[in-house]
């Protein structure tokens, strides 16, 4: 099971259109990525809530098709 | 709380233990790098915690994800509240927020960061 980085980015952008998204492939196996997502939508939200927004954008693929996604989220300064 | 038996089982674990880590493997033999990282952080801080091996119970392994609306393992709970997975616990450890959270909840720990 694997996912291309572009698909991850597209899914996040679809749910968070104003986000800055950077994806890094950690292992080259399409299963282990790191992502940084900066979006005004995160303003005032706890880290858990921020990450849950990103997981929701991935529509259930997190933990299944996508094994590992190291997430860094924040609202713009 | 729902009458889902798995949710009740999870709820009793996180209520009975101030610090509970749902993980793959056990604190002595973690079977996943992310779980091992959180065990390392808690051990480094000298935090007594209760490990729940989700690999030993497929129903808890799946149930915990909908219980917390969090799709991955490990999951750390402090005083019944979901704190986060590996990324968030690591970030909180590095920023000192984890030590603050533990102190605020009266949970002994020897090391701040």
Peptide bond into A62 cis (omega under 30): no
Contact B88 A52 (CB under 8 A): no
- Looking at per-residue pLDDT, the higher value among B11 and B2 belongs to B11
Q: What are phi and psi of B55, to 5 degrees?
A: -70, -20
Nearest C-alpha neighbor of A43 from the set A73, A21, A67, A66: A73
- β-pairing verdict for A20-25 and A32-38: antiparallel
Tokens in use for B34?
């992310």
pLDDT in tens, A11-69: 999 999 999 999 999 888 888 899 999 999 999 999 999 999 999 999 988 888 888 89
pLDDT in tens, B67-106: 999 999 999 999 999 999 999 999 999 999 999 999 999 9
Confidence band for B1, pLDDT divided at 50, 70 and 90 = low
Angstrom distance (rounded) from CA B52 to CA B13:
8
Contact B84 A52 (CB under 8 A): no
Task: Please tell me which residue of chain A has the smallest CA distance to B70.
Answer: A52
Q: Which of B65, B71, B91 sits opposite A47 (nearest CB)?
A: B91
Which of B35-41's residues contact partners 24+ apart within 8 Å by CB, and which partners? B35/B73, B35/B74, B35/B86, B37/B86, B37/B89, B37/B90, B38/B74, B38/B76, B38/B86, B38/B89, B38/B90, B41/B89, B41/B90, B41/B93, B41/B98
Domain covering A5-74: architecture: 2-Layer Sandwich (3.30)
Contact indicator for A33, A22 with CB cutoff of 8 Å: no
The complex's ipTM? 0.84
Q: From the DSSP assignment, how many helices (H) and strands (E) are in chain A?
A: 2, 3
Does the predicted model carry a pTM greater than 0.95? no
Domain assignments of chain A as residue spans, ordered by start: 5-74
Residue ranges of E strands in A3-67: 20-25, 32-38
Contact A55 B70 (CB under 8 A): yes
């Amino acid at each position: 099971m694997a996912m291309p980085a572009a698909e991850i980015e597209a899914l996040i952008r679809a749910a968070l259109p104003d986000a800055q998204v950077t994806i890094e492939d950690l292992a080259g196996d399409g299963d282990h990525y790191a992502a940084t997502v900066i979006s005004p939508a995160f303003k005032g939200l706890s880290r858990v809530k921020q990450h849950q927004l990103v997981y929701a954008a991935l529509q259930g693929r997190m933990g299944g098709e996508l094994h590992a996604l190291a997430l860094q989220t924040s609202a713009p300064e | 709380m729902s009458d889902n038996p798995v949710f009740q089982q999870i709820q009793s674990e996180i209520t009975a233990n101030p610090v509970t880590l749902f993980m793959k493997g056990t604190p002595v033999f973690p079977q996943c790098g992310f779980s091992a990282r959180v065990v390392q952080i808690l051990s480094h801080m000298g935090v007594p915690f209760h490990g729940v091996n989700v690999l030993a119970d497929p129903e808890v392994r799946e149930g915990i994800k909908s219980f917390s609306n969090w799709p991955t393992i490990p999951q750390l709970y402090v005083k019944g509240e979901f704190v986060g997975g590996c990324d968030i616990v690591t970030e909180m450890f590095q920023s000192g927020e984890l030590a603050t959270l533990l102190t605020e909840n009266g949970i002994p720990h020897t090391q701040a960061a």
